[in-house]
Structure 1
Amino acid sequence: MKPFKEKTFKMVETGMMLVALWWGVVLALPAHTFANPVYGAMSHLMPEKVWSALCIVIGLTIGIGMFLQQKLVQTIGLLASIGFWIFVAVALWLGDHFTTGTSYAVWAVLASWLYIHLIKEGDG
């Protein structure tokens, strides 16, 4: 049973990494995503390119921690991810109460689940 559980956690962690990197790439494109009023709370805090860099750093931190199997790096990546996705969900909700942006809180829940699993496994 343990190999299946490990594969499941790695798949979820890989998904978290890819979503963060995807957001980083999308926000780095010259499409001006923050021109949409839904992103108003985020655009008032930092420019789109800074959000892009933050997403890429979070994604790379998760990926490096996974690849090197370093619990401290994984912990940093997951905790940053939890905070980031909670903020995104709240910011999008503030921008438009009828948006599906609050669904990004699911990524925070998944990151929390991975973090709890990492801590339960040992010295994380």
Structure 2
Amino acid sequence: MEVAMTSLALWWGIILLLPYHTFPTSIAYQAMAGIANETVWGLFMLLIGSAQLLGTIHNNYQLKRVSLLAATGVWFFIASMFGISELFTTATGTYFIIGCLTGWLHMKVGAQNGR
């Protein structure tokens, strides 16, 4: 599960860093564009994904918890962004479920370490 969530964050980072301009493809991305450009979002997603990957590889409790908490917030933001702008899309439910899964992983990692 951790590998899947890590891979998704890394994939988002890579896609946003490519020179293909993702934000203009949907009105849903206006909320993200209002905060930062695609390059900044791409780097942010790569940072989250890389932190998750390193936390998993090195079994680093703190890095796992922080990166999973950040990822949970990002996925809920993305679900909300799609829900507000394009209600009839599978993206809203998909990213909401991903947010729930990363939140569950965050709690599970804490429980495994007695916190």
The answer to whether the superposition gives a TM-score over 0.5 is: yes
State the match for 2:23 in structure 1.
34
Seq. identity, %: 33
SS in 1 for 2:113: coil
Shift of 1:69: 0.7
State the match for 1:105 in structure 2.
96
State the match for 1:46 in structure 2.
36
Cα RMSD (Å): 1.2
Contact persistence 1:41–1:92 (CA under 8 A): no
Equivalent positions of 1:1-124 (< 5 A) are 12-36=1-25, 37-102=27-92, 103-123=94-114
TM-score normalised by length of structure 1: 0.86
TM-score normalised by length of structure 2: 0.92
The runs of at least 4 consecutive aligned structure 1 residues that moved more than 4 Å come to none
Shift of 1:82: 0.4
Greater Cα shift, 86-95 or 70-79: 86-95
Count matched residues. 113
Deviation string, structure 1 residues 52-108 (Cα, Å, up to 9, x no partner): 011100000100111111100000010001000000110122221222221211111
Stretches of structure 1 that go unaligned for 5 or more consecutive residues are 1-11
Greater Cα shift, 64-73 or 100-109: 100-109
Shift of 1:45: 1.6
Contact persistence 1:71–1:123 (CA under 8 A): no
**Structure number with larger C-alpha Rg:** 1
Which amino acid is the alignment partner of residue 57 of structure 1?
A: L
